[in-house]
Amino acid sequence: MYKETLIVNNNGKPILFVPERAVAVTPHDTDTFQEGLLFVGVGGDVKAMPAGNTDFVTFKNVTSGSFLPIQVKAVHTDTTATNMLVCY
């Protein structure tokens, strides 16, 4: 049976995002890229910089084939996940 999952913001309004581009991400300690959703091809820990931050945070044990539920602008070399794409 098909079940639709709806993502909503703090006001209960649906968040609709359909990216038009996807670009391979090469982790780097200082470089940033176009903000977007991060797709993780092969799971692991992701040390990323959210769009509104100036510091990196670590998302532990991200599942293969998933998106981080936050816009990111950088991925640090301490990341163990691989085959990542930024979608915007």
* Identity of the residue numbered 74: A
Q: pLDDT at position 1, please?
A: 54
The pTM of the whole model exceeds 0.95? no
**What is the number of alpha carbons within 13 Å of residue 22 lying toward its C-beta?**
10
The C-alpha atoms of residue 35 and residue 88 are separated, in whole angstroms, by 7
Q: Any bridge partners for residue 44, and if so which?
A: 62
Contact call for residues 73 and 49 (beta carbons, < 8 A): yes
The tens-digit pLDDT sequence of the chain (88 residues) is 545 556 676 777 776 777 889 999 999 999 999 999 999 999 999 999 999 999 999 999 999 999 998 999 999 999 999 999 999 9
The C-alpha atoms of residue 88 and residue 18 are separated, in whole angstroms, by 8
